[in-house]
């Protein structure tokens, strides 16, 4: 599949710039709560995963859509609910993953989650197959998109044939480049937001694992490099932040993908570096379509004010329908 130099997305005239398109949905999008049903899955390492399932109300459903959120997100984020609402309306049951420590309670294992973790996604795929779904689609946003791409490419033989396609948005597929982008002064507000949330979880983990999550100096952390060097890397078996980023980036695995996949990264996404737009891989990988709208921000893609569906939701439905 091709690299798409053009895109149908056009930002509203009254909302321009990557930062505005990133922030607007968080603050102003109107989105009702969804009647999720919580399912807890036990994992082989004596931990658990919380899934929130939105049934489409159709019997039988066309299949299951597994959705993976971004850094410090959860199933209730507006972009997750908007996509679930779209696909439930099309006859798909939606399985919204909550990463470990993101479902409303702290997980039990020493580690939490990280950008390159794919085992829990595979466990969720197997759960859907055991539940009787004969068709599975994958959806990912930001970090969840990186996990999805890495899952598809790191061991293609592990991906069951029932997984028919994937769509991912705003993906930092080169983690070192994205870390550099987020460390820029103009992105300080995002960095503060993420670190505030991550440090809160460190304090909670400290109660069970004080040696792995020491609190001394926590308030002085100002970058992902400092946080990942001190917490993410040792908690998940990496030598350093750089080692974690290199091994967890989905970019090296894109050429191995064997499932029709759409990657949409906006050209004005403030979270992404030039390396996060893998044009070469898209040109040389028959199963990967890379679409780069000129605008859209990070997980933005705002449609006209008052529209029930955002462009990203319509685009995902279109791509899967074309399959």
Q: Taking the domains of the chain in order of start, what are their residue ranges? A: 3-178+251-322
Query: Residue 129: how many CB atoms within 10 A of its CB?
Result: 15
Q: What is the DSSP letter of 161?
A: T
8 A C-beta contact, residue 292 and residue 7: yes
pLDDT digits (tens, 9 = 90+) for 190-220: 999 999 999 999 999 999 999 999 999 999 9
Please give the pLDDT value at position 5: 61
Please give the pLDDT value at position 58: 92
Q: Using the predicted structure, report yes or no on whether residue 57 has a pLDDT greater than 80.
A: yes
Closest CA to 173 of 252, 95, 229, 231: 252
d(CA 53, CA 95): 5
- Residue 83's SS3 state is helix
d(CA 266, CA 62): 30
Average pLDDT over residues 65-91: 98
Confidence band (pLDDT; 50, 70, 90) for 6? confident
Average pLDDT over residues 166-174: 98
Q: pTM, whole model, 2 decimals?
A: 0.97
Closest CA to 101 of 111, 93, 92: 111
Q: Using the predicted structure, report yes or no on whether residue 269 has a pLDDT greater than 70.
A: yes
Please give the pLDDT value at position 304: 78
State in words which class domain 3-178+251-322 has.
alpha beta
Please give the pLDDT value at position 1: 52
Percent of the chain beyond pLDDT 70?
A: 98
Q: Using the predicted structure, report yes or no on whether residue 53 has a pLDDT greater than 80.
A: yes
d(CA 303, CA 311): 6
* Averaged pLDDT of the chain: 96
């Amino acid at each position: 599949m091709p690299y798409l130099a053009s895109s149908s997305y056009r930002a509203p005239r009254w909302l321009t710039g990557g930062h505005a398109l990133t922030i607007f949905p968080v603050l102003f999008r109107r989105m009702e709560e969804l009647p999720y049903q919580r399912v807890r899955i036990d994992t082989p390492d004596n931990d658990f995963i919380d899934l929130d399932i939105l049934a489409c109300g159709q019997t039988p459903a066309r299949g299951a859509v597994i959705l993976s959120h971004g850094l410090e997100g959860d199933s209730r984020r507006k972009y997750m609910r908007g996509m679930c609402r779209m696909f439930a309306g099309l006859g798909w049951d939606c399985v919204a993953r909550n990463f470990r420590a993101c479902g409303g309670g702290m997980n039990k294992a020493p580690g939490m989650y990280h950008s390159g973790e794919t085992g829990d996604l595979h466990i969720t795929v197997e759960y859907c197959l055991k539940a009787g779904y004969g068709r599975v689609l994958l959806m990912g946003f930001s970090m969840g998109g990186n996990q999805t791409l890495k899952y598809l490419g790191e061991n293609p033989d592990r991906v069951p044939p029932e997984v028919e396609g994937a769509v991912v948005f705003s993906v930092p597929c080169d983690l070192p480049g994205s870390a550099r982008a987020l460390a820029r002064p103009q992105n300080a507000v995002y960095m503060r937001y993420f670190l505030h949330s991550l440090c809160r979880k460190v304090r909670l983990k400290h109660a069970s694992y004080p040696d792995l999550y020491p609190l001394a100096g926590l308030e002085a952390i100002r970058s992902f490099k400092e946080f990942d060097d001190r917490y993410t890397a040792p908690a998940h078996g990496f030598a350093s932040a750089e080692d974690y980023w290199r091994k967890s980036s989905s970019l090296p695995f894109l050429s191995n993908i064997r499932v029709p996949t759409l990657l949409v990264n906006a050209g004005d996404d403030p979270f992404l570096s030039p390396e996060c737009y893998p044009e070469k891989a898209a040109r040389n990988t028959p199963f990967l379509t890379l679409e780069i709208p000129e605008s859209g921000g990070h997980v933005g893609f705002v449609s006209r004010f008052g529209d029930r569906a955002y462009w990203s939701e319509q685009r995902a439905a279109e791509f899967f329908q074309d399959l």
